[in-house]
A and B are shown apart, each in its own frame.
Chain A
Amino acid sequence: MNDLASFWSYLSEGPLLWLALTLAAYFIGDACFRWSGRRPWVNAVLIAVAILATILWATGTAYGTYFEGAQFVHFLLGPATVSLALPLFDNLARLKRAAVPAIAALIAGSATAAGSAVGIAALLGVGPSELASLAPKSATAPVAIGIAERVGGAPTLTAVLVILTGIVGAVAATPLLNAMGIRDWRARGLAVGIASHGIGTARAFQVNTTAGAFAGLGMALNAVATAFVAPVVLWLFL
């Protein structure tokens, strides 16, 4: 028993256990997604996060300890963003042909994302600092946090809202766009990337590679657009 306890304290302090558990939780989440017949609301990220949060809570492990192991996975977000150059390159001719509708969708989507979020929250009585944290939530996390800091928001709250936005977009996109009868993979991917950044883009790659390429483009474009849109939206509502 004592041996077991000391083995646990040895393992739980190092990165190995938490890295392995992160991969295991995602494997289970992804298996659930496949077993369900690839239903969009069975989201692998959401399931993995729920499993890991439960384990951390049950073992009384601090997030900092967990992140010692999980950082190896987290680190790959950077190289993964760079890797998006490949689907963009593969679809370059189609992207060029779609430049005008893509810019129109970017302006409309970016303004709707920030404008309706801040408008709804303001109507529901949310305070100015929280509104400033909410405005950039459709941009990819590092950009959103940078914008939130400049417009008087709280970076931690923005990080929470960004991840929530991504999961909502990843879950809602397929049923929503099917219901709207939109079959153009370019439109579907771009919209998901604009509204729900990398998590939406990851979901788009699961569905269709064209959608994935356009989602990556949408994410990159909205990172730029949100920097301009968020301050204007806040100026309108504050």
Chain B
Amino acid sequence: MIPALLALLSCQLAGEAIARVLPIPLPGPVFGMLILLCLFIAWRPFAEVLRPVAQGILANLSLLFVPAGVGVVGHMSTLGTQAVALVAAVVISTVLAIAVAAATFVAVAKLTGAGDE
């Protein structure tokens, strides 16, 4: 467990450093993810070292959004008088984006013959 945690935190740390240096607007952990992916590709057994811990964290990913969600409740008032319009825009646009992205993927996969097997 300790080597896996150390690896995750080290990748995140390296990612934070890269995020400071590169003029790309991505957060450090996303760079950390790319670094870890490169390490897995370079040395396959490394994935098995991290698997139990990484799977444990990802299986409970929803939990990690709870503290931020509680903060949002307190800030609901920042929506102000335009609350109804903003909520309507969020709900409709999110449903539309899921539908358009999924339909586009299926259509282009069919066109290019990018099957799954």
| A227-B62 in contact (CB<8A) | no
B46 to chain A minimum Cβ distance, whole angstroms, is 9
Contacts A92-B41, A195-B98 known; A45 to B66 CB distance under 8 Å?
yes
Q: Mark A196-210, 1 if CB is under 8 A from B, else 0.
A: 101101110110000
| B8-A83 in contact (CB<8A) | yes
Residues of A within 8 A of B99 (CB): 176, 180, 191
Chain A contact patch, size range: 35 or more
Residues of B within 8 A of A109 (CB): 97-98, 100-101, 104
Instruction: Give the CA-CA distance A169 to B34 in the complex, in Å.
Output: 25
| B50-A86 in contact (CB<8A) | yes
| A112-B29 in contact (CB<8A) | no
Contacts A78-B32, A81-B30, A100-B108 known; A53 to B58 CB distance under 8 Å?
no
| B97-A147 in contact (CB<8A) | no
| A190-B33 in contact (CB<8A) | no
Q: Does any Cβ of B come within 8 Å of A234's Cβ?
A: no
Which residues 34-80 in B have Cβ within 8 Å of A in the complex? 34, 36-37, 40-41, 47, 50-51, 53-55, 57-59, 61-76, 78-79
Q: Does any Cβ of B come within 8 Å of A232's Cβ?
A: no
Instruction: Give the CA-CA distance A115 to B97 in the complex, in Å.
Output: 10
Residues of B within 8 A of A138 (CB): 93-94, 97
Q: Which 9 A-B pairs have the closest CB atoms?
A: A109-B101, A117-B93, A124-B85, A70-B67, A81-B29, A113-B97, A85-B36, A191-B101, A202-B61
